[in-house]
Each structure stands twice: as structure tokens, then as C-alpha cells.
A and B are shown apart, each in its own frame.
Chain A
């Protein structure tokens, strides 16, 4: 009897100590019946989530995608926020290119731009860590630091009540990331590469965020207005349904639009 109890106890302890498969979930759910307040806004991916897929599809020349200039800070807050986003995206590209000098330049520029919008304190440690890890060529760790810098900047801006401006940082990153994605895909077009552009909910999310700020001074800023128009123009080009084919012409058009937008953000008045 004692032996049986011991065996049962051992079995219980063994089961408790190991992960067990979750109980069978429903095979389908009706998302339309899910109360809206219980559905979060879409999670904005970091550029490396896309770049890693591109690496699996081929061998992009990441160095060729790096910009020579990181851009000019005009002191106009929406421009600085968008610029900050493009610089962080540039950091992810430099990581893919494994260019430690460029990564360190980007870390320094990040600090300068963060100071311009009063969030320097939030990223000092990150920038220091970017430099250390770039020197050690710990690329995955550098990637994590850029991801963390993006969250820290946004978090600090939200704490200051600059939620809308914080969204512009995300959008700047997305615009530069999409420019690079389309540049790489159009050079060696495959439907699988182009499918990475299918991001309907993300575009809806960005558009909704811009709509919410339409009536403020920030909403009327030229770059903000143009970003909204660009998102609206991209939306019909990315495929209606998951898995639908996005032709090379659409990839080229999106590349042209995002390239022009990045130029406007980085070289205002040029």
C-alpha cells in the first residue's frame, strides 16, 4: 500500500514538474463576436522580424541598403520623432550588415535625437550597450538593444503625454523598414518575399492613429499629413487577403512612395 502511494505521489510530482500540452482549444473562434474592447491594437513588429525572413529567402546585400546620411534634425518635433524611427530602423539594417562602426554611429545619433525630444535619459544606457555589444559583435544582443531603445523612447514620450508623437516614432521605423524591404524584394522578386508586405491591420492601425490626431496642430503638420496619404495609397497595393500574390509592380510603387517619404523626413526642404 505504502509503495502504491509512493508511486502515485511520484507520478503526480513528475507531472507537476513538466509542462503538459494545453487542453484542446477550439479549432475556430468567431473573431467578429469578440468584444472590441477585448481586442488589442495590432502589435507593431520590429524591422528585424522581416529582415530575418529575407535572409532565409536569399542573401540580401544589407550594406548596400544602408544610407550614407542618417538625416537632418530640424527641431520640428514631428520630424524629429519620424526621424528617430528611421534611425532605429537603420540600426536594424546595420546589424544585418554586421557593420559595427555604423551601428555605433547610429547609437550616438539616437542619443542626439532623443535629447531633442527630451527623452535622452531613457536611452543613455541602451546607447552605451549598443556600442559595447557592437564592439563585441554580439549581433543578436544589439538587435535586442535597438528594440529596447524603441520601446524606451516610446515609453518615455508617453509618460510625457506625447502619445501621438510616440506613434510617429513607430511609423518612421515602419516607413524606413518598408523602404528597405521593398528595395530588397524588387531586386530579386519572389511572391514569398512580396508577401511580407501584406500588413493590412498594421496599416489600419497607423491610419486610425493619424485620424485621431487630425484636428490638432500635430495632425496638420505637413509630414504627418503626407504620412497619412502615403498609408492610404499603399493600402490597396498589399493584397486583399492573407496569402494573395503581390505583383512586382506594387512592390516598386511602394518602394517609390516610402523612399520619397524617407527623403522628406531625413532631408526636409531638400
Chain B
């Protein structure tokens, strides 16, 4: 899957106006999750990734990360009663995050890479009142 939010937004705008709204909302919640880190001097990437998942479904977002940087991956969903999580693994499948938190429709994980390489942000919809739950991820670095 390569779903830059821009593509998703434009496709959904054409096909399904309400869906456009929920993905857009998910992005705003992802930015809300990232806001504390922006205030702490992290640069929040303009690029974002998103989609929708069923309950207990997972999605991996692969990212090239650099040793020497400090990253926060921030996840949000537009579904108020949903519970979503995000965790970061290295290319060997080992948990690589130094901390993470979860609060309802928001979640975030921090990684300070020990090696430069590919890392995977695993997104999971743990609970949701809806069949499909929109999600969006942004990341911040410093």
C-alpha cells in the first residue's frame, strides 16, 4: 500500500464525500497527537499516511530512519470511541521504541534509532464501534 494522504483525499473526494471528511478528521487528530512534540522543538513532517482498518486489523508503515535523530510517530482516528495503537519495530522485527502511549483515539511511539535503516510502524485498531476505522499517521523528528 502506498497511500499518501493526498491521493487518498482526492480519490475519496471524487468517490465518497463523507469518507473524505473522516480521513481528513483522522489527520487532524494525528496532528493533535503530534502537537506536544512540535512544542518541544520537533519538526513535524508535512507528509502523512492514512487509510482505514477493521477491528484487530494491522497496517505497517515502513520508514527510513537515521541513527542520531529522535522520532515520534503519532496516530489519530476520527472515531471517538475507538482504541488505536502504534508500535515501532526494526527490520529484524524487534521492538525498537523507547516509549509509547495510548489514549483512546490517539497513540504515539518514540524511537531513537540505534542503527540507520528501515523501521516499521505497526498500526492496530484494537476497538471500534465502526466496521472500518479511518487512521492517519504523522511523524516528528529532531
- Write the residues of chain A forming the contact surface with B, with a CB cutoff of 8 angstroms: 18-23, 25-31, 34, 37-46, 48-50, 52-53, 56-57, 140, 143-144, 147-148, 150-151, 154-155, 158-159, 192, 195-202, 242-243
Contact = CB atoms under 8 A, between A and B. Distances in A.
Contacts of B90: 242
Most chain B beta carbons < 10 A, residue from A19, A26, A28, A147: A19
Pairs A-B, 9 closest by C-beta atoms: A155-B6, A53-B68, A242-B117, A22-B102, A243-B115, A201-B118, A43-B63, A41-B2, A148-B46
A147 B47 contact: yes
Contact of B60 (A39, A192, A243): A39
A22 B43 contact: no
A151 B49 contact: no
Contacts, number: 163
Contact of A31 (B3, B85, B93, B114): B93
A151 B43 contact: no
Interface of B: 1-4, 6-7, 10, 43-47, 49, 57-69, 85, 87, 89-95, 97, 99-103, 106-107, 109, 114-118, 120, 122, 139, 141-142
Contacts of B115: 195, 198, 242-243
B103 A20 contact: yes
A39 B7 CA distance: 17
Contact of B100 (A25, A45, A140): A25
Contacts of B116: 195-199, 242-243
A187 to B, nearest CB: 18
A258 B46 CA distance: 26
Contacts of B106: 19
A42 B103 contact: no
A201 B139 CA distance: 18
Contacts of B89: 28-29, 31
Given A31-B89, A158-B4, A26 B95 contact: yes
B67 A30 contact: no
B5 to A, nearest CB: 9
B91 A37 contact: no
Nearest to B13: A159
Nearest to A48: B43
A26 B47 CA distance: 28
A19 B68 contact: no
Given A196-B68, A242-B117, 12 more contacts: A19-B103, A20-B102, A22-B109, A23-B102, A39-B1, A40-B60, A49-B69, A52-B68, A52-B141, A56-B68, A151-B46, A242-B92
A197 B47 CA distance: 22
Most chain B beta carbons < 10 A, residue from A22, A57, A147, A148: A22
20 contacts: A19-B101, A22-B85, A22-B87, A23-B85, A23-B102, A25-B95, A27-B94, A31-B60, A31-B120, A38-B59, A40-B59, A41-B1, A43-B61, A52-B69, A147-B46, A195-B116, A200-B117, A202-B118, A242-B92, A243-B116
A158 B118 CA distance: 25
Contacts of A143: 43
A201 B49 CA distance: 18
B4 A28 contact: no
A235 B93 CA distance: 22
B63 A38 contact: no
A8 to B, nearest CB: 20
Contact of A154 (B3, B4, B95): B4
